[in-house]
Chains A and B, each alone.
With several copies, the nearest count.
Chain A
Amino acid sequence: MSTLITKVRQKQLSQLIEKGKRIDGRGLTDFREFKIEEGLIERAEGSARLLLGKTDVLVGVKIETGEPFPDTPNEGVLTVNAELVPLASASFEPGPPDESSIELARIVDRGIRESKAIDNEKLCIEAGKKVFVVFVDVYVLNHDGNLIDASALAAVAALINTKMPNYEIKDGEVIIKQGYTPLPLKSRPITITVGKLGDKLLLDAGLEEEQVMDARISLAINEEGNICAVQKGGSGYFTPQQIIEASKLAQEKAVELRKKLKW
């Protein structure tokens, strides 16, 4: 893979982090600049594009009607899919989703699902028969590290931006009416990924930093500061103390981002 960096560069990055510094001058818990553009895809029911440094993620939301799951007959259905689009990195290849894109989709999915972000019961059209299905498609357009936080943020921004078609039921048929209603949301979770290198924790790792990190832990945090979903990744480990520390760090950063985002 052409995105691998040299051993020398790895050493340089590691030594900086061990001193509490970073290659781009940020502090260990600083995020890169980010910008959210909403509604770029007029044809989708919702969309948002997030630039986090040079990481670029576009999320489109489509709403269609479909059948509910048998065990939740009066709830809408959420489906999250992630594409590591091959133009985003020389290391991404076209083809069916691999384990990285599946993990990414499932982390984004759990952040939304476990925080009960969508008011699923309001998506029910006819219990057991017809509900709205919300398709969240995460489209990574440029990979410069921290795809998890960028994708999760962009997905929630797209949901906030999503409009639902109005409808009425006539003779058992769903008739789509003029006009839209916002998608009913109950929560706006923010996912923060904490990287670990030796005894240091850091936030918003860039692409090169990700290659020297031992491991990462991602936490979805809701408005109350509660934890809604967690995922450890990477081939290294955390001590129990580091996990508690990481959890606090994520909660603080979520508060900070929430203010910036006015979420």
Chain B
Amino acid sequence: MIDKQEKLIDKKGIRLDGRKADELRPLKLEVGVLPNADGSAYIEHGKNKILVGVFGPREMHPKHLSRPDRMVLRCRYHMAPFSVQERKSPAPSRREVELSKVIREALEPALFLEMYPRTGIDIFVEILQADGGTRCASITAAALALADSGIPMRDLVVACAAGKVDDTVVLDLYDAEDKLGVADVPVAYMPNLNAVTLLQMDGILTHAEFEKAVNMAIDGCKKIYALQKEALKTKYMHIKEETQEEVEE
């Protein structure tokens, strides 16, 4: 057992992994990584490694789940058995069922569901490696995968957590901080609409700390948002180059 008295932030305000309080972990975003999916994205957020595939809009199966007035969004958040320290059974846990629901609800505000009645979209999120903050990284990647699929969106959704570690409100907790810290506040956000679409919290915070954490998380979201747009641009430039090459040939 890890000694809970151990300090997670040193006197200079530096965290165990070398980051400052308001610093994000390194991020890597890729779009269009799965040949068979209609849209896909891959994210490395710290040591989180997550793959998202989107299929649809397509006919719902089973049919009775479809809705006459709108599209149905389904989402499965799933951890690979080898993604965590102790092997996880492939059967969905209660935690995975809950996260599937809140991730779906975080993405729904970005879509024009009424535009595609009687159809369904499936989002499959696979956590290949987990390092704290998987739900946020999943949302960030899922929004990219949706965009990659070509479905119209009100805005990208981007997610990031803030939390309290020792006595400090910090951005983007990794695994050890998540487990040994005081509180974790994952937030999903649509910058253009100023809309918070996911918000959860574990731990104990004063109202002031909570407010600070929410705002810090939103600032984090805005930074990742820039990376999301970058990743989409890279993809499009890539496509453009390919098209040009074809033309030149």
Point out residues on A near B: beta carbons under 8 Å. 2-3, 40-44, 47, 54, 56, 58, 60-62, 64, 71-73, 81, 83, 85-90, 94, 96-97, 99, 102-103, 105-106, 110, 114-116, 135, 137, 139, 141-144, 215, 217, 222, 225-240, 243-244, 247-248, 251
CB pair B85–A43 under 8 Å, yes or no, is yes
Contacts A86-B55, A248-B207 known; list 4 others, CB within 8 Å.
Answer: A3-B36, A87-B36, A142-B35, A235-B108
Instruction: Tell me the smallest distance from the CB of B179 to a CB of chain A, in Å.
Output: 9
CB pair A235–B204 under 8 Å, yes or no, is no
B22-30, B120-128, B237-245: which lies at the A interface? B120-128
23 interchain pairs, CB-CB under 8 A? A41-B82, A42-B47, A44-B82, A60-B80, A73-B1, A86-B55, A86-B122, A88-B34, A88-B53, A106-B95, A114-B202, A114-B204, A137-B81, A141-B51, A222-B204, A227-B205, A230-B210, A232-B196, A235-B109, A237-B190, A237-B195, A243-B196, A244-B214
CB contacts (< 8 Å) of A231 on chain B: these are: 102, 199-201
Q: What is the size, in residues, of chain B's interface with A at 8 Å between Cβ atoms? A: 64
Number of A-B contacts (CB under 8 A): 190
Instruction: Tell me the smallest distance from the CB of B155 to a CB of chain A, in Å.
Output: 11
Most interface-central of A85, A114, A143, A215 (chain B CB within 10 A): A85
CB pair A86–B76 under 8 Å, yes or no, is yes
A53 and chain B: residue at smallest CB distance? B35
Instruction: Tell me the smallest distance from the CB of B92 to a CB of chain A, in Å.
Output: 8
CB pair B196–A226 under 8 Å, yes or no, is no
CB pair A141–B130 under 8 Å, yes or no, is no
Instruction: Tell me the smallest distance from the CB of A56 to a CB of chain B, in Å.
Output: 8
CB pair A144–B201 under 8 Å, yes or no, is no
Report the separation of the CA atoms of residues A15 and B193 in the bound assembly, to the nearest whole angstrom: 23
Q: Which of B183-238 contact A (CB under 8 A)?
A: 185, 190, 193-207, 210-211, 214-215, 218
Report the separation of the CA atoms of residues A143 and B200 in the bound assembly, to the nearest whole angstrom: 24
Q: Which of B113-160 contact A (CB under 8 A)?
A: 122, 124, 126, 128-131
CB pair A102–B97 under 8 Å, yes or no, is yes
Instruction: Tell me the smallest distance from the CB of A69 to a CB of chain B, in Å.
Output: 11
CB pair B197–A64 under 8 Å, yes or no, is no
The residue from B97, B124, B199 contacting A243, defined by CB atoms under 8 A apart: B199
CB pair A226–B194 under 8 Å, yes or no, is no
Report the separation of the CA atoms of residues A44 and B200 in the bound assembly, to the nearest whole angstrom: 29
Most interface-central of A3, A58, A87, A103 (chain B CB within 10 A): A87
CB pair B91–A41 under 8 Å, yes or no, is no
CB pair A99–B190 under 8 Å, yes or no, is no
- Residues A240 and B215 in contact in the complex (CB < 8 Å), given A139-B80, A228-B204, A230-B200: yes
- Residues A227 and B82 in contact in the complex (CB < 8 Å), given A94-B76, A96-B91, A103-B101: no
B8 at the interface (CB under 8 A from A): no
